[in-house]
Amino acid sequence: MSYILEEIINKKLVSIFEELGFDKKFAVVKSSDRPDLSDFQCNGALALAKTEKKNPRQIAEVIAEKLNMDNDFSKISVDGPGFLNITLNNDLIAKTMDEMANNERFGCATVTEPKTVVLDYGGPNVAKEMHVGHLRSGVIGESFRRIEEFVGNKPISDVHFGDWGTPIGMILAEVIEHDGNLDKMENYNIAEITAFYKQANIRCKEDEKAKEKARVITAKFQDGDEEYTNAWKHIRKVSVDAVKENYKELGVHFDLWLGESDAHKTCFDIKKIAEEKGLLEYDDGAYIIRLEEGNKPKPPVIIEKSDGGFTYHATDIATIKMRVDDLKADEIIYFVDKRQSLHFEQVFEAVDKLGIAPNVTMKHIGFGTVNGADGKPFKTRDGGVMNLCDMIQMSKDKVAESMPKAGGESGLTQEELNKLISQVAVGAIKFQDLKNNIASGYIFDLEDFANFEGKTGPYIQYAIARINSVMRKNADITAGKIIITNNEERNLALKIAQMSNVIMRSASEKEPSIISDYAYTLAQLFSSFYNSSPVKGAETIEIASSRVGLAKLTKDILTTLLYLLGIEAPEVMPKA
Ligand code: ARG
């Protein structure tokens, strides 16, 4: 039997429709638009009216008559022009809760045809500190990785490290400028290398000759020069280590730590395929693929620059070929700032022309920027780009204000407290990031998103911690069969029953905010239930144990939802 209420009702409707000779494609229900009138509604009679050439109310009445004979429904009514309103019997809702509670996945559906989905997120660059844009990409991508896995697909996440191209030449040139050679390279740590890169940026802006030097070194290094390659290996390693540290704190996981450099060899293949297909043009010293046909002409894709270096376009096209050939990707999804939309449109169109990814879905999910109070992309006080570590630290400082001190009454060791602060601070940042549509930007406002009240990560974490405390206080009562005795229990249970649909919709619409919305509503409904339905004061032991069961189910589901958003749920959450 299905655990999903819509499916249970649809099945019943289908057999009624068949019996009455109606087209069963209209035998579908959805959650009611008028929860005050019913739990579910079916608008099929309105659609049938046309083919049946009958009054829709009349059709609805006939169906209603049949539904009325079913004990799983407590009330059926026909309203308006022919809406069928369906109210469920509490027993059916309670039974669904029992089944969900006894199933590891809470009876959630999985996709019918599992796909291999390559997720491209993170995208940090060597020698550059990660900024808030890399945060959004990592946070959204990680949530997707978890959602895809939960619904039964096979996600493969790749960080696609920006580890190739001019920045490398610039750093090497700068070190040579400073030391006379690269002998000390191996001793430099990430902070020093980052400083060299900053310096190189300033120098190259002012000095054409310095720029030329960096370019020559880049070309040599890409050609495999041994000394430069060794230096590059060191730069890459320290950069990757630093990035790993950052993403670890954020709970962002990558299956693959490949980079632009890994696509270099395949770039030659791309050039060759383009040539063979007659797509490659030599234009003003560069090799390009034109994209001027169709209804939306775009600027050409540049494969190779006049200095012989492959471009960002080329590496992305080559990477797609590798993901298709080596990883057998069915889908490739990019989580990158929406300001790169044109880049991806060009890349996807070139890939289509080259025919290197037949039947593979490629999608760029562009996100909005993280903004300051002025609505412009977030900057630090001195006008610089906000880096990720500082942002996490700010959030931790804010969260620490609402937490007790270690020791004393809290009973927490400093280590436990630090872990808690990190879980809540990261949870706050992530929820903030995932609570709106991906495409929209948001304002970075700590007061707002680290608050324990309102639609925030800490609010949901707190709801879970509160349920844990209910369970501890009622440790003598085991979670039992669910019995619905009041409206608050009923509303909570009906919301719980939507879990599978919510997650499937979030996966197919590629929108984690559907899950964050749902988690928030669930936490609110739990709060009403908690205030109205005492465990200790319950009329019977059965009701008490049903309430413990419903609380536990809510907790387990909320924990899973937070997991899908990449957020941890602390066991306890003391407030200062
Ligand atoms: N490294 C790039 C940046 O910082 C992002 C990479 C995104 N992924 C990709 N396959 N292009 O802008």
pLDDT tens string 66-121:
999 999 999 999 999 999 999 999 999 999 999 999 999 999 999 999 999 999 99
Judge whether residue 461 has pLDDT over 80.
Answer: yes
Q: Are 85 and 38 in contact (CB under 8 A)?
A: yes
Judge whether residue 159 has pLDDT over 90.
Answer: yes
In angstroms, the CA 163 to CA 243 distance is 12
Residue 414 confidence (pLDDT):
93
Q: What's the 3-state SS for 460-514?
A: HHHHHHHHHHHHHHCCCCCCCCCCCCCHHHHHHHHHHCCHHHHHHHHHHCCCCHH
Tell me if 162 CB under 6 Å of ligand 1: yes
Instruction: Pick from 245-254, 292-301, 328-337, 399-408 the range whose average pLDDT is largest.
Output: 328-337
Q: Are 318 and 273 in contact (CB under 8 A)?
A: no
How many Cα atoms occupy the beta-carbon half-sphere of 2 within 13 Å?
15
**Token code pair at residue 250:** 């954020």
Tell me if 344 CB under 6 Å of ligand 1: no
404 CA distance to ligand 1 centroid (A)?
Answer: 41
In angstroms, the CA 298 to CA 289 distance is 11
Q: Are 107 and 217 in contact (CB under 8 A)?
A: no
Ligand 1 mutation target, pool 161, 166, 336, most atoms within 8 A of CB? 336
Judge whether residue 233 has pLDDT over 80.
Answer: yes
Average pLDDT, integer, range 537-554: 96
Residues 508-535 pLDDT 10s: 999 999 999 999 999 999 999 999 999 9
Residues 190-214 pLDDT 10s: 989 999 999 999 999 999 999 999 9
The distance of Cα 84 from the centroid of its chain, to the nearest Å, equals 36
Residue 17 confidence (pLDDT):
95
Tell me if 133 CB under 6 Å of ligand 1: no
160 CA distance to ligand 1 centroid (A)?
Answer: 7
Tell me if 123 CB under 6 Å of ligand 1: yes
Average pLDDT, integer, range 368-372: 87
187 CA distance to ligand 1 centroid (A)?
Answer: 28
In angstroms, the CA 439 to CA 461 distance is 25
Residue 81 confidence (pLDDT):
93
Q: Whose CA is nearest to atom 2 of ligand 1?
A: 123
Residue 293 confidence (pLDDT):
78
Place 294 in a pLDDT band, splitting at 50, 70 and 90.
confident
Q: Whose CA is nearest to atom 8 of ligand 1?
A: 123
Residues of the chain with CATH 3.30.1360.70: 5-88
Residue 559 confidence (pLDDT):
98
Residues 377-421 pLDDT 10s: 877 667 777 778 888 999 999 999 989 888 888 888 999 999 999
316 CA distance to ligand 1 centroid (A)?
Answer: 9
Ligand 1 mutation target, pool 134, 158, 160, most atoms within 8 A of CB? 160
123 CA distance to ligand 1 centroid (A)?
Answer: 5
Place 20 in a pLDDT band, splitting at 50, 70 and 90.
very high
Place 130 in a pLDDT band, splitting at 50, 70 and 90.
confident
The domain defined by 5-88 folds into Gyrase A; domain 2 (3.30.1360)
Tell me if 120 CB under 6 Å of ligand 1: yes
Residues 263-286 pLDDT 10s: 999 999 999 999 999 999 999 999
Average pLDDT, integer, range 149-160: 98
Tell me if 122 CB under 6 Å of ligand 1: no
Residue 176 confidence (pLDDT):
96
DSSP state of 55: -
261 CA distance to ligand 1 centroid (A)?
Answer: 13
> Which amino acid is residue 190, in one-letter code?
I
Q: What architecture is domain 116-126+133-162+256-369? A: 3-Layer(aba) Sandwich (3.40)
Tell me if 160 CB under 6 Å of ligand 1: yes
Q: Whose CA is nearest to atom 12 of ligand 1?
A: 123
Place 132 in a pLDDT band, splitting at 50, 70 and 90.
confident
Average pLDDT, integer, range 474-501: 96
Tell me if 125 CB under 6 Å of ligand 1: yes
Residue 239 confidence (pLDDT):
93
Judge whether residue 123 has pLDDT over 90.
Answer: yes
Tell me if 336 CB under 6 Å of ligand 1: yes
In angstroms, the CA 104 to CA 426 distance is 27
Q: What does each C-alpha distance from 321 to 341, 521, 525, 540 come to in angstroms?
A: 20, 43, 48, 64
**Token code pair at residue 229:** 């390659």
Residue 1 confidence (pLDDT):
58
Q: Are 358 and 329 in contact (CB under 8 A)?
A: no
Residue 165 confidence (pLDDT):
84
Express as a percent the part of the chain with pLDDT over 90: 80
β-partners of residue 455 are none
Residues 246-268 pLDDT 10s: 899 899 999 999 999 999 999 99
Atom of ligand 1 nearest to the CA of 343: 11
Neighbours of 345 (CB within 10 A): 14
Tell me if 442 CB under 6 Å of ligand 1: no
Place 444 in a pLDDT band, splitting at 50, 70 and 90.
confident
Ligand 1 mutation target, pool 340, 351, 363, 387, most atoms within 8 A of CB? 340
Residues of the chain with CATH 3.40.50.620: 116-126+133-162+256-369
If you average pLDDT over every residue of the chain, what do you get? 93
In angstroms, the CA 553 to CA 480 distance is 11
